[in-house]
Every structure is written in structure tokens, then in C-alpha cells.
Structure 1
Amino acid sequence: MRKRLALLAVATAAVTVVTAATSASADTRIIKGAYVYFDPTRNIFGVGDTEADGRTPYLDVRVNGGPLQTFPNHNGNGTWRDVRPDETGIRDGNSLAWRARVGGGAVSDWVYEQA
């Protein structure tokens, strides 16, 4: 029951962030063991862990066609982590290519959008 409540809280947080976003696309990718979302109102990503399977969820992202950046969430099942790629972050108008991935597991399709 506790695991279900933790998963429900994480999923609710992701939906809240996605529905609160009003500009750009605010897309989300949900795969077995992870979800990743982009919040265009703050130009950040969130990486959530949805399975107690010992696997780490990742965000893979390219900003303006630059090098692939990979961000893990090592915090465990039922948690999420906010991520800002690059030290300077994402600026409005940047082109983004991103996906959700689980180490040794599922991988989502790429999402292409403008910040």
C-alpha cells in the first residue's frame, strides 16, 4: 500500500507540473520505471523513478543540437529530481531533443520541441 501511495504521489506531481505549464508543449514521457517531463514555464526537466527495481531513470537531452547530456535520478522509487541542462540552463527559443530512459530497461521516443 505504501508503494502505491508513493507512486500515486509521484504521478500526481508530474501531472500537476504538466498541466500548470502554459507555454511550449510541456510534454511528458512515461515508460516502465520512469517518467520525464519538460516544464516550459521554468525551462527545466523532471526525472521520476516509478519502480522499486534497482534501475536508475535518466533524462537524455540535447540543447540546440549540442552534445548529449544525461541526468540520472539516483534517489530511488517514488522520487523525482529537477534538472537544468548545462550550467547556463535552457533559454526561451532553444531547440530541445530529449527522452526518458531506464538503465538496462525501457527507452522512450525522442521529443523535439522549442523551449
Structure 2
Amino acid sequence: MRKKLALLAVATAAVTVVTVATSASADTRIIKGAYVYYDPARNMFGIGDTEADGRTAYVEVVVAGVSKTFGNHNGNGTWRDVYANETGIRDGISLSWRAKVGGGQTSTWVHEPA
């Protein structure tokens, strides 16, 4: 009985950690070849390349009317983090973003309020 309770406690803790870790993300966009998310707590984007297709995964960010595109040029299965100092994101400013794949799909826009 103790082993079952200990296993249940570990499983519950793991679910709690996963829930807390994923709730910080404002939104995620997944398209063929790219996985992009925004973490508002860190003012950071994560860009994952998910296909061995020779195409680059990108995030296009619009801040204060200025559009910038950041790519993950490291290939399939890799990640790149893009931080606020690169994008121009500051507290109190609205932004829009979307995932893109070079020569491929583009996701819908995500609008983050200030």
C-alpha cells in the first residue's frame, strides 16, 4: 500500500509540474515543419524545426508596427530561443506573431495584448 501511495504522489507531482510549466505560455503555433511558442513571463519565443525537409522554421514578430523575422537555421530536431532584446518587446506593448516555414506553411496570427 505504501508503494502505491508513493507512486501516486510522484505521478501527481509530475502532472502538477507539467501543468505549471506549460501554463506560462500565452500561445503555441504548430505547423508542418515548425513549432513556435511565446512565453510572456520571459518575453521569449521558442522556435523548433520539426521536419527533415531542408526548410527553416521561423517566427515573424510585429512590435509597435515593426516586423522582424527570426529563424532556427540549425535543422530538424533543434530549438532556438529568441529573447526580448532581439525582438524589441517591452512591457506594456502589444505584439503579434506567427510561425512560418521557408517556402512552406504560415500559421494564423497570435495577438498578445499589452
Distance 1:97 1:78, change over 3 A: same
Counterpart for residue 114 of structure 1? 113
Q: Which amino acid aligns with 2:59?
A: L
Distance 1:80 1:60 in 2: 16
> 1:84 Cα shift?
2.2
Correspondence list, 1:1-115, <5 A: 19-21=22-24, 26-65=26-65, 67-87=66-86, 89-114=88-113
* Bigger RCO of structures 1 and 2 (CA < 8 A, at least 6 apart): 1
Q: TM-score, normalised by structure 1?
A: 0.74
- Over the residues paired in the alignment, what is the CA RMSD in angstroms? 2.3
Unaligned runs of 5+ in 1: 1-14
Q: Residue 42 of structure 1 aligns to a residue in which SS?
A: coil
Check the 8 A contact 1:92/1:114 in 2, yes or no: no
Check the 8 A contact 2:84/2:90 in 1, yes or no: no
Counterpart for residue 9 of structure 2? none
Structure 1 runs (4+) greater than 3 angstroms displaced: 15-18, 85-89
> 1:64 Cα shift?
2.2
Check the 8 A contact 2:68/2:87 in 1, yes or no: no
Q: Residue 106 of structure 2 aligns to a residue in which SS?
A: coil
Distance 1:87 1:57, change over 3 A: closer
Q: Percent identity?
A: 73
Distance 1:59 1:38 in 2: 10
Q: TM-score, normalised by structure 2?
A: 0.75
More helix by share: 2
Counterpart for residue 5 of structure 2? none
Distance 1:28 1:54 in 2: 22
